[in-house]
Structure 1
Amino acid sequence: RFRFENSNLRRAYIALQAWKRAIFSDPFNFTESWTGPDVCSYGGVFCAPSLGNGSVRVVAGIDLNHADIAGYLPEKLGLLEELALFHINTNRFCGLVPKSFRRLKLLFELDLSNNRFVGKFPSVVLSLPSLKYLDLRFNDFEGVVPAEVFDKDLDAIFLNDNRFRWGIPENLGNSPVSVLVLANNELGGCIPHSIGKMEKTLNQLILLNDNLTGCLPHEIGKLDQLTVFDVSFNAIQGPLPSEIGNMRSLEQLDVARNRLTGEIPAAICRLPRLLNFTYSYNFFTGTPPHCGGGVVSDGRENCIPGKIGQRSGGECSSPAAKPFDCSKSKCGGG
């Protein structure tokens, strides 16, 4: 019925029409223009010369961010084999991520965040050889975070605000990511000692509210490129490792609302770029006498003598306030 520039755009037409049929609410009419053979004129669809043949146009990108579309992703989307960018954040897409996505060998950025996807971690993403940016945050994924994701050559991983459980895989340190956000899951377990191997690349690590236990591993001191380290709202015990003083790039350090004890290491006060240090709602018993004038710190609700806004005497003599021996931790020591 229609004539197409090339077979790639014919396949794209089939895929996009299947997707349009899988959409049951499009309040801002993002897909209203998805008619006829000129798929490169469809709203949110971007064409570019094929990597294999520069004279052939293909669908290289889809961006339906913030469209509030409700629907699901049909298997036919696997026909978009030249796709490099797939961005559909802040919609109401539900169901599973199609297995056919494994055909998207050029996919570089995958952003499915802030939707209603369900099921286990979408293992199809592990078979995408070009993938660098993976964003699955704010969905209903559950179960285990597969170890394989940390063996992939990714630059950014956002898995926060799902229902992942069963701990952080021990091979975490194999990952070359610069940004890793696992916050607001039900992970439990400890921070793996292998984290020290991420020293050359890791820039931001956010593990807040993940049910983490055990002690902070001394290996975090190797992360001298790290600017943001947030492990707040967990159940981490033991002292703050003095090795944190080696994290020369650190700007934001948040260990609030854990079960940390002991003295705050003086080395933290010598961090040259530190701007914010939050250690409230722990059981610390001492801070260095003079800690960086330019640092905004919050040390409320600890057990530090002479400092205002601290816990009661009863709380500070409770079992939770007692020093914890990290060598007895089931994580194998601090």
Structure 2
Amino acid sequence: MAPPLITNMASGGCLLFFLLFSSFSALSFALTDAEVAFIAHRQLLALPEDGDLPENYEVQVDAKLNFENDRLKNAYVALQALKKAIFSDPFGFTVNWEGEDVCSYKGVFCAPALDDEKLTVVAGLDLNHADIAGHLPVEMGLLTDAALIHLNSNRFCGIIPRSFRRLILMHEFDVSNNRFVGSFPEVVLEWPSCKYLDLRFNDFEGELPPELFHKEHDALFLNHNRFTSIIPDTLGHSTVSVVNFGFNNFTGCIPRSIGNMKNLNEIIFMNNQLGGCFPPEIGNLGNLQVLDVSNNVFIGSFPKTFLELRSIEELAVGYNRLTGFVTEKICSLPKLANFTFAYNYFSGEAQKCMPNPKNKVKFDDTGNCMPGRPKQKNTKTCFPVVTKPVDCSKHCGGGSSTPDKPKTPRPQPPQTPKTEKPPTPKAEPPPTPKAEPPPTPKVESPPTPKAEPPPTPKAEPPPTPKAEPPPTPKAEPPPTPKAEPPKTPEAEQTSEAEPPQTPEVEPPQTPEVEPPQTPEAEPPKTPEAEPPKTPEAEPPQTPEVKPPPTPKVEPPPTPKAEPPPTPKAEPPPTPKAEPPPTPKVDLSCVYC
């Protein structure tokens, strides 16, 4: 018998070796991007053009091999093709995948066929946590008796082949925690009896097909992918008890049809771009135990129907833009154990909702706008949100899942200013300057000069795009005065940069037509309607233009008298300037 010291040293050495090996395994088996690309390329080269097997596909094997039935022969072909598609098998899961006895292969399960108990078939494949790197060959479509395929926590790349549509007995399909890519694998929609579908932790992208929620799934995991669509309104048809949409790029609102999901126990929306108000139909989910909508952009407050969530245990709404008051009733739901409403814009809460170590319920109210509570937002941050009322009737509170996107065409409203209608009403002010007898006739004269100096209109078109963008935003309200004064002094500069000023001169220069009030001193120089234009031909008169700047405080209104004509040419630029407006759920028990 070995001395205790030697035994302890031996056991300690084994433990150290095990830890070192485990660390090495964790660090050395990750695929590089180059390896992923290589494996995906291998799959593309091996796949038929349509990713499916020919209808008349003939299975060919070594004549020396004897199989109990053709289905086992097909399974042999499928599994050997999978073995050849493996790039790395660090734990040797497929080492014994040799010979015709496929039922002895590690990870392969056989059972009597459902349609003929006398036949033994491959009913399942379980390679969970094998850390295998490779791709799925098209021949796997030959496993037509498989009801279970578990491939989670491996390093499979590429796509789910079209040939998988043949696996019509599929009941559980788990390819989570791999590196699959492409759009949603619609082959799974052709499995009539699939109950468990797990696609999480991959790189699937694009839209979710509405048909997905017409399938009779019990558990559906879509989290940690790259899906970007709205959540279809067909959601309410789903029979799932657990569904996870988290960590994607879903937009829009929660569909109202969610209230029809009578079997629903857990639903996760966290870490997306979902918004709008909560649909009141959520209150119909009497069996709901977990609701997580954190890290989105929801607005509004809790619907009164939330008080009907009598089975809710976990309620997480943190990191949104919710407002209002957190009532005692919602904090007193009978089975509530954890309620997180941190980092919103709630302005108050009932005493019952305040975090307290003595409470059985865990509350988190940090990062809100509650006076007197610790770790809240400052007033400057809260005021713009808290004081802005939310109309949920316009924010998906009771509408479809497509939210405020239609409002994105907000660039169109800015186009209305393109007509510069505001200036047209301001056309009334011009009469005030017209009240000055001398200027009024001069207002009429400007048009004539406009005909006289054709060059100015020639300069006007180009300038309008260049000068108008800045003026338009600024020119609508106060900027007009700001635009005119500087420009009149800049009349000297117009010699070099008249184009920019001329545009502004045109709208504001009309006022400069009023500045022609300088003609009040020199009536004959009424062409001072050309002051802006004078820089082109009468630089000496520019000094006289400078005196008018003082009265140009009055001109601002008048420019708006003639803007209507100019805007017709100016609108195009304005649009170009306007555009700126521009798993918590542990499912290990689901099938225990």
Q: Bin the TM-score by the shorter chain.
A: over 0.9
Q: Which residue of 2 aligns with 1:40?
A: 103
Please give the secondary structure, in 1, of the residue aligned with 2:165: helix
Q: Is 1:223 paired with 2:314?
A: no
CA contact (8 A) 1:224 1:247 kept: yes
Give the drift of 1:223.
0.7
CA contact (8 A) 1:215 1:333 kept: no
Q: Distance in 1 between matches of 2:317 and 2:311?
A: 17
Which residue type is aligned with residue 88 of structure 1? L
Q: Distance in 2 between matches of 1:24 and 1:255?
A: 43
Q: Which residue of 2 aligns with 1:260?
A: 322
Q: Which residue of 2 aligns with 1:287?
A: 349
Q: Which residue of 2 aligns with 1:89?
A: 152
Q: CA separation of 1:220/1:23 partners in 2, compared to 1, >3 Å: closer, same or farther?
A: same
Q: Which residue of 1 aligns with 2:212?
A: 149
Please give the secondary structure, in 1, of the residue aligned with 2:121: strand
| Alignment size in residue pairs | 333
Give the drift of 1:306.
2.0
Pick aligned residue for 1:113 from 171, 176, 182: 176
Note the alpha carbon deviations across 1:60-80, whole angstroms, 9 max, x for none.
Answer: 010001111111111111111
Give the drift of 1:331.
6.1
Q: Which residue of 1 aligns with 2:505?
A: none
CA contact (8 A) 2:347 2:386 kept: no
Q: Which residue of 2 aligns with 1:204?
A: 266
Q: Which residue of 1 aligns with 2:583?
A: none
CA contact (8 A) 1:261 1:323 kept: no
Pick aligned residue for 2:375 from 303, 309, 312: 309
Q: Distance in 1 between matches of 2:387 and 2:115?
A: 63
Q: Distance in 1 between matches of 2:84 and 2:387?
A: 59
Q: Which residue of 1 aligns with 2:333?
A: 271
Q: Is 1:132 paired with 2:195?
A: yes
Unaligned runs of 5+ in 1: none
Q: Distance in 2 between matches of 1:267 and 1:83?
A: 50
Note the alpha carbon deviations across 1:18-54, whole angstroms, 9 max, x for none.
Answer: 1111111111111111100000000110111111111
State TM-score, norm by structure 1. Answer: 0.97
Q: Distance in 2 between matches of 1:319 and 1:295?
A: 29
Q: CA separation of 1:333/1:321 partners in 2, compared to 1, >3 Å: closer, same or farther?
A: farther
Q: Is 1:31 paired with 2:94?
A: yes
Give the drift of 1:6.
1.2
- Look at both structures and tell me which one has the larger radius of gyration over its CA atoms: 2
Q: Is 1:61 paired with 2:127?
A: no
Give the drift of 1:204.
0.3
Q: Distance in 1 between matches of 2:396 and 2:362?
A: 34
Which residue type is aligned with residue 361 of structure 2? V
Note the alpha carbon deviations across 1:207-252, whole angstroms, 9 max, x for none.
Answer: 0011101111111111110110000000000111121111111000
Give the drift of 1:269.
2.1
Q: Distance in 2 between matches of 1:278 and 1:330?
A: 23
Q: Mapping of 1:6-25 within 5 angstroms?
A: 6-25=69-88
Q: Distance in 2 between matches of 1:76 and 1:103?
A: 11
Which residue type is aligned with residue 194 of structure 1? S
Please give the secondary structure, in 2, of the residue aligned with 1:236: strand
Q: Is 1:328 paired with 2:379?
A: no
CA contact (8 A) 2:279 2:398 kept: no
Note the alpha carbon deviations across 1:150-190, whole angstroms, 9 max, x for none.
Answer: 01111011000000012100111110100000100001111
Query: Which structure has the higher relative contact order (CA within 8 Å, separation 6+)?
Result: 1
Which residue type is aligned with residue 315 of structure 1? T
Unaligned runs of 5+ in 2: 1-63, 401-592
CA contact (8 A) 1:262 1:323 kept: no
Structure 1 runs (4+) greater than 6 angstroms displaced: none
Note the alpha carbon deviations across 1:275-294, whole angstroms, 9 max, x for none.
Answer: 00000000001112324932
Q: Percent identity?
A: 56
Q: Distance in 2 between matches of 1:119 and 1:315?
A: 41
Please give the secondary structure, in 1, of the residue aligned with 2:297: coil
Q: Distance in 1 between matches of 2:391 and 2:375?
A: 27
Q: Which residue of 2 aligns with 1:176?
A: 239
Q: Distance in 2 between matches of 1:245 and 1:319?
A: 25
State TM-score, norm by structure 2. Answer: 0.55
Note the alpha carbon deviations across 1:101-149, whole angstroms, 9 max, x for none.
Answer: 1111110000010111110000000000110100000000000011110
Q: Which residue of 2 aligns with 1:5?
A: 68
Q: Which residue of 1 aligns with 2:139?
A: 76
More displaced 10-residue stretch of structure 1: 319-328 or 271-280: 319-328
Please give the secondary structure, in 1, of the residue aligned with 2:366: coil
